[in-house]
Structure 1
Amino acid sequence: MFQQDQDIFNVLLGSVSEGVIIVDEEQKVVEVNASAQKMFGYTKDELIKQHLNLLIPKNYRAGHDSHFNNFMKAKQQRKMGHGRDVHGAHKDGSIFPVEAGLNPFSIYGKNYVMALVIDISIRKEQEQKIQELNAELEKKVLLRTQELSETIQQLEVENAKRVEAEEEAKTALKREQELNELKTKFLSLVSHEFKTPLSGILTSTMLLSKYKLTEQQQKRDKHIKTITDKVHYLNNILNDFLSIEKLQKGKVSYKFATFKVSKVVNEVVYNANMLLKDGQQINYPENIDGFSLYQDEKIMELALSNLVHNAIKYSSENTIIDIIITQDTTTTTFQVKDNGIGIPEKDQKNIFNRYFRAENALLTQGTGIGLNIVKDHLEHLHGTIAFESVENEGTIFTITIPNKAEL
């Protein structure tokens, strides 16, 4: 085949740095250059007339014949390994990556294929190192990102704690200010509410000593009643203060029992009749004889008394106070309606606050703690208290309480 110009051909093959392997249509090796011999570890004599499979790893031989036949039919130059890995088999059995360019040609009526083969082991090693470096870099970036994320989370947690601490400090400061205000109000309240009745008691006591004659008994009775009323008032104030302390410390223990609603109403109305102003009248609720409750009787009496007494206190002479009571299968509703001074709209939101007194009630004797105590007790008993009021027209207070206490 290559007898003519053999020397020139050998010089050309030897000068090519790539490995050159020429095979015939039967894939038999007809020529190799020195680079190919060195690359695969064979001598020229060991390769000539050998099948090309000798240089292909066993794992890659499947389907090779079909690819070769298709290539010979097409007779087009092609670069092998594009998009997939191509490997060669060394004489010692080792496998190495290659890149091959296939070039078909014909001489003297016979078809051949020249394969230009490059050992790309170093390139693959470099690519592997680059991949490893990239993977390591990605790992470091991921780690740094995670560390940064954790740092940000820690900062967010610390910031949240700082904000929470600031809020707690503000709340504590506000509570301290409110407490100081309450203390001031309390001292002022005690000073005023105790001083007035005590002065009345002292005056009546001094006057009693002057009425020694039998015919002066009516005057003595008048002052004795004044003393009694003032003592009762002071006693009620002290009881209210004790109730507040027990509620705050959670020392209130309720005594539940079944009782007639009419029993509580009778007791409240009887005591309230002694406080009525001239011409005032209490309208007794209708059709309540069949109503019963399983609750704390004393607390219900306290709540209803407070509302009725307030209605008397803040209503003028010749007015009517209505007590309305309804009951269904689960709850009982108490309503106390008056035609008194009412509660100014701007003060209504604070009416249940301790020691608070509406602007139009400041000149009327009172402590501003009764409604607060009633509300706390009712909430403990799963009840509610609400009101509707129009200044100078009157007020309706409504208590709703379960028929049976929830233990």
Structure 2
Amino acid sequence: MEKAVLLKAIIDNAIDGLITIDEYGIIESINPSACKLFKYTELEVLGKNISMLMPQPDRAHHDGYLFRYKKTGEASIIGIGRELTGLTKNGTQFPFRLGVSEVKYSGRIIYAGFIHDLSREKEAESKLQDYASMLEEQVQERTLSLRETVAVLEQTKIELNLSLEHLRDTVGVLEQTQRELNLSLDKEKELGKLKSRFVSIASHEFRTPLSLVQLSASLIERHALPYENQNIGKHVVKIKEAVLNVTAILNDFLSLEKLDSGKTQTKRDTFNLENLAGEITDEMQIALKGRQKIIYKHRGPGVTIQLDQNLLKNCIVILIDNAIKYSGAESEIQFYTKINENNCTIRICDNGIGIPADDQKHLFEAFFRAHNTGKISGNGLGLSILSRYTDLMKGKVDFRSRINKGTLFILTFPII
């Protein structure tokens, strides 16, 4: 009963729509997100054919599709997914991605449809195309300018060969032309940076599909429990790990872009450091490997400080996540906080692989990874972001590390 209540709570609070139908296309359940998308109440659609939510010609073809699938077993949507158009109660249409799963339960066949609204993605895609076209036009203009500059340079060379008497004047023209060429190349590089920055902003749009994949994997895992199929569980774990890795990479790139563009600003929050550290410790339990443990202790009389709580939490999470990744499955991660009259200190210590001495001077550079990380996942951005967040909060980072003996990081921040 507790699991059923939990599953219902997850479905009712899912950000994407979820509709279940029987083998004849009759709607058996619809969650609040789907009701909001189609602008119907639950009572208005329960017991009705799912085709009421489709514009023509999909509405006319839907029952035939179900009949052919039951007869032949050939699926064009079930287990595959595709983009479709939905019809709301007031007659408006919107694009969405539909993923349909077939569930056999208590001798019945139920089809569960996961509906993700693509309106924002389509709008973002249109804006991206318009912006790319504008960038392409600017690139063409700069290319034409370069060609014209090169043509001037070639003409200048011809004039130099024709008259040695104007050697000094010609050299001056060549130098001026070279400066113009360098300026044009610098503008080209700036356009490249703008385009890269725009792609980073657009990557925000990947977060919602990743959330859908994560939710779907959780639902598959829960529905598969009665069957005790180890292969399903193994692949669901791989899906979740892949989603977490991609999400972490996107978050790191977006954080770096905000830092580079000056969008990251600090704010002073008054909060309980011990409570924050306890919350982080609990949240990081899901990332632990094997029998790893996080040991947290607070030292010092006071626990309330004034810092940017969000940036501080990100710094701590980066260090604990690194400690987990680079330590063995039986290891303990030591996590301490301390407050005195002027400063607060965060210490995170592991007994992992350590950092080679030759690599330590590059540790806070973007995209740098130590030579002994091997196949351990990572993009080399975490410590670079940590260092810049710490600078923004007027703090400092210290560390000590030895190969195969572990690493200690110490963050110190002024609190007055």
| TM-score bracket relative to the smaller structure | 0.3 to 0.5
> Larger Rg: 1 or 2?
1
TM-score of the superposition, structure 2-length normalised? 0.46
